[in-house]
Amino acid sequence: MTTLSIFNQSQPERASKVTENPAEIRDLLARQGVRFEQWPTKDLPSDAFQEDILDAYSEEVSKLKEECGFQTADVISLNPDNPQREAFRQKFLDEHTHSEDEVRFFVRGQGLFYLHFGNEVFAVLCQKNDLISVPDGTRHWFDMGPEPAFTCIRLFTNPEGWVADFTGEDIASRLPRYEALAGAAE
- Is 116 annotated to bind ligand? no
Nearest to 174 by CA among 124, 116, 135: 116
Closest of 1, 2, 76 to residue 36, by C-alpha? 2
Give the CA-trace dihedral at 102, 17, 167, 104, to 10 degrees.
-10
- 98 in a labelled binding site: yes
Count other C-beta atoms under 10 Å from residue 37's C-beta: 14
Specify binding-site residues for Ni(2+).
96, 98, 102, 140
Q: Which residues are known binding-site members for Fe(2+)?
A: 96, 98, 102, 140
